[in-house]
Amino acid sequence: MKLKTKLSLGLSFLFAVILAFGILGFFYINKLSNDASKVLKNNHESLVYANNMLKALEDIPAQKNAFKIFDNNLIKQEANITEPGEKESTEDLRKNFTELLSNPKDSSNYAQLRQSLQVINALNQDAILKKNDIAQKTAEDARFWLTLIFTILIIVSITFIYNFPAVISGPVIKLSQGIREIANKNYSQRIYLDQKDEFGELANAFNSMAEKLDEYEHSNLAKIKFEKSRIETIINQMKDGIIGLDDKKHILFVNAVSEKILGLKESDIIGKYAADIAIQNDLMRTLLKEETRKELKIYADEKESFFSKDVINVTANEAVIGQVIVLRNITPYHELNEAKTNFIATVSHELKTPIAAIRMSLQLLDNKQTGEVNTEQQLLLDSIKDDTNRLLKITGELLNMTQVDSGKIQLSIVANDAKEMLNYAINANKTAAEQKNIQLTISVAEQLPQVLADSEKTAWVLINLLSNAIRYSHDNSAIFVSIHSKDKKIYFTVKDTGQGIAPEYKAKIFDRYFRVPGTHKEGTGLGLSICKEFIEAQGGQIMVESDYGTGSAFMLVLNAAS
């Protein structure tokens, strides 16, 4: 039988018993009410009429309206005849009363009148007693049947309350236990319910599911173990350090390279909270930081090594369920980069001496100490001079770049006069500005505090910014240079009125070797990159604002001396 049918039958039975109880109660209450109303309406009223007539009969000699009172009550009695024999007594009463009315002074029939009234009283009193017995019998019947039905209801309800929860909870408990076992991967669990209802069907479906899971588990377990072993072997053979974390930052695995780097054994830290390990391990603490340096210098393989850190989020259904930290050994690349830097520094240094000698020879030729030169020779000398200056600038930038790459920027940060450094940069670019007829507009705030800076490096940056502004400005234009202070900071601004920088190139302007496409201007693409390194090494900032088509403004921000 279906569970729904069981519930319907049980509830229908309860409803039927409750309905029967209600109907029977209503029937007996209505019957008792009718019996009581008959006693009050019929017999009691007849007694009242008879008593009124007896009193009026006694008052006939003294009161004139006694006949009228008697007659009114007699009329009412005639309309309220309900018991056997009451009609004959009422008719005799009417006959004798009529005779009395014909001769009011004759009192011979008073005895017949009283006798008729006593008979009427006796009949109604007997009827009241009989009807009271009937009402008592009705009440007893109602009490019996209602008690019987109420008892049956109580027994059925207790039985229903006691047994029905077991019908529901028993199978549910067994199903819950089975599901709990399946969740713990005990796929041999089965549920046996000898029921042919929905719970029985659910148990059969559960057993079928468990059987399929058991088959799947045993058929794929060996394959899964093999794949796991293979993945672990691959991870351990990799030259990169790999650390696996779950979504709660507990350590899942650590390969052999990571063991060497961390100085820890996988068996000692597996399953532990990574933050707890980081308390005793500085490298783990560094790896768990969200913001980490691009390069990590770690002592590994008995030497200083360099590693880059990558954090890969493991996702499932767009939710992060873990992380893999990869430490790539970039020591060979770092060594190659260092060799390149040393080579560039050596070559640049070696080239600088002969180029300086060529420049000195050109200055002697310009002074005509070695003789006069004709126009064509002068043009050749000017061309050689431009190329020499360009080579000197390139070798200077390369030497500065090697300082940046090697981390050996030599700084002498002291209090300096900001205006003096700016004037030095302007004088260095004065000739180039005059050649293009560019006006340099200078604005320096009054009572300007001194700036904490390396005067040589900062002047080199200002020279570079002014040189770029002149190079990218139109002829007969203007360049605005200003210095002001705010919140213990010194602000240097160089603004040109040239073409400006397109929005898509603005973020790349300080990248090494980057040149804005289509400018066709001289340069190595190193100047702004070196400027940024020099300023940031002094604890400052360099920024650019540019509206394409109207010009660019470069701003240096350095700390004030006081």
Question: Three-state SS across 391-412?
Answer: HHHHHHHHHHHHHHHHCCCCCC
Q: Which of 361, 382, 405 is the last residue of a domain?
A: 405
pLDDT number for residue 480: 94
Please compute the mean of the pLDDT values over residues 397-417 and round it to a whole number: 69
Residue 224 lies in a domain: no
Q: Is the pLDDT of residue 499 over 70?
A: yes
pLDDT number for residue 122: 86
pLDDT number for residue 509: 85
Residue 418 lies in a domain: yes
Structure tokens at 501: 């920088």
% of the chain with per-residue pLDDT over 90: 10
Among 193-202, 222-231, 310-319, 406-415, name the most confident range.
310-319
Contact 281, 269 (CB under 8 A): no
Same domain, 372 and 445: no
Same domain, 357 and 398: yes
Beta bridge partners, 29, equal none
CATH number for the domain that contains residue 494: 3.30.565.10
Q: Is the pLDDT of residue 320 over 60?
A: yes
Burial profile 309-340: b = 16 or more Cβ within 10 angstroms, e = fewer? beeeeeeeeeeeebbbbbbbbbbeebeeeeee
CATH number for the domain that contains residue 363: 1.10.287
- What does the mean pLDDT of the chain come to? 78
Same domain, 471 and 423: yes
Beta bridge partners, 273, equal 250
Please compute the mean of the pLDDT values over residues 459-487 and round it to a whole number: 90
**Residue-wise pLDDT tens digits, 261-297:** 787 888 788 888 888 888 888 778 878 877 655 577 7
**C-alpha span between 289 and 284 (Å, rounded):** 9
Same domain, 278 and 344: no
Q: Is the pLDDT of residue 339 over 70?
A: no
Residue 182 lies in a domain: no
Phi, psi values for residue 305, rounded to 5°: -120, 160
Residue bearing the bigger pLDDT, 293 or 335: 335
pLDDT number for residue 553: 92
Same domain, 15 and 107: yes
Q: Taking CA 544 as the corner, what is the angle to CA 541 and CA 550, rounded to the nearest 5 degrees?
A: 160
pLDDT number for residue 23: 78
Q: Report which of 254, 279, 278 is spatially closest to residue 268, judged by C-alpha positions.
A: 254
Residue 212 lies in a domain: no
Please compute the mean of the pLDDT values over residues 245-264 and round it to a whole number: 82
Q: Which of 329, 361, 392 is the last residue of a domain?
A: 329
pLDDT number for residue 78: 83
Contact 388, 358 (CB under 8 A): yes
Residue 199 lies in a domain: no
Q: Taking CA 453 as the corner, what is the angle to CA 448 and CA 456, rounded to the nearest 5 degrees?
A: 115
- Please report which residue ranges of 184-281 form alpha helices under DSSP H: 198-237, 256-262, 266-269, 274-280
Please compute the mean of the pLDDT values over residues 7-15 and round it to a whole number: 71
**C-alpha span between 421 and 450 (Å, rounded):** 11
Q: Report which of 469, 403, 408, 410 is spatially closest to residue 441, judged by C-alpha positions.
A: 469
**C-alpha span between 374 and 473 (Å, rounded):** 33
Which pLDDT band, with edges at 50, 70 and 90, does 491 fall under? very high
Same domain, 318 and 244: yes
**C-alpha span between 305 and 284 (Å, rounded):** 16
Please compute the mean of the pLDDT values over residues 533-561 and round it to a whole number: 89
Contact 130, 42 (CB under 8 A): no
**Residue-wise pLDDT tens digits, 503-544:** 888 888 888 777 777 664 555 677 788 788 888 888 899 999
Residue bearing the bigger pLDDT, 492 or 271: 492
Q: Report which of 183, 207, 212 is spatially closest to residue 193, judged by C-alpha positions.
A: 207
Structure tokens at 18: 């409750």
pLDDT number for residue 462: 92
Domain that holds residue 385: 335-405
Among 120-134, 236-250, 307-321, 438-452, name the most confident range.
438-452
pLDDT number for residue 400: 61
* CA 529 to each of CA 237, 306, 525, 554: distance values in angstroms, whole numbers, following the listed order: 39, 23, 8, 13
Q: Report how many domains make up the chain.
A: 4
pLDDT number for residue 149: 78
Structure tokens at 93: 């009463």
Same domain, 252 and 354: no
pTM of model > 0.85: no
Q: Taking CA 182 as the corner, what is the angle to CA 180 and CA 184, rounded to the nearest 5 degrees?
A: 75
**C-alpha span between 327 and 309 (Å, rounded):** 5
**C-alpha span between 335 and 21 (Å, rounded):** 101
Q: Report which of 33, 26, 25 is spatially closest to residue 135, judged by C-alpha positions.
A: 33
Burial profile 83-109: b = 16 or more Cβ within 10 angstroms, e = fewer? beebeebbebbbebbeebeeeeeeeee
Same domain, 419 and 510: yes
Residue 203 lies in a domain: no
**Residue 542 burial (C-beta neighbours within 10 Å; 0-12, 13-18, 19+):** buried
**Residue-wise pLDDT tens digits, 121-169:** 888 888 888 877 777 787 788 788 878 877 887 887 788 777 766 666 6
Same domain, 396 and 512: no
Contact 535, 465 (CB under 8 A): no
Phi, psi values for residue 329, rounded to 5°: -80, 110
Please compute the mean of the pLDDT values over residues 544-557 and round it to a whole number: 89
Same domain, 156 and 11: yes
Mutual angle of helices 331-366 and 375-406, in 10-degree steps: 150
Residue 186 lies in a domain: no
pLDDT number for residue 535: 87
**C-alpha span between 213 and 72 (Å, rounded):** 100
In angstroms, how far apart are the furthest CA atoms of the chain? 194
Please compute the mean of the pLDDT values over residues 385-410 and round it to a whole number: 65
Structure tokens at 41: 């309406």
Scanning the structure block, which residue is given the tokens 């008593």?
51
Residue bearing the bigger pLDDT, 87 or 104: 87
Same domain, 146 and 33: yes
% of the chain with per-residue pLDDT over 70: 78
Residue 208 lies in a domain: no
**Residue-wise pLDDT tens digits, 412-467:** 889 999 999 999 899 888 888 998 999 999 999 988 999 999 888 898 889 889 98
Q: Which of 138, 169, 200 is the last residue of a domain?
A: 169
Contact 387, 380 (CB under 8 A): no
Please compute the mean of the pLDDT values over residues 323-351 and round it to a whole number: 67
**C-alpha span between 126 and 128 (Å, rounded):** 5
Same domain, 302 and 396: no
Residue bearing the bigger pLDDT, 282 or 353: 282
CATH number for the domain that contains residue 298: 3.30.450.20
Q: What's the sign of the alpha-carbon dihedral 133, 139, 141, 147?
A: negative
Which residues touch 24 (CB under 8 Å, ≥6 apart)?
A: 142, 145, 146, 149
Which residues touch 121 (CB under 8 Å, ≥6 apart)?
A: 46, 47, 50, 51
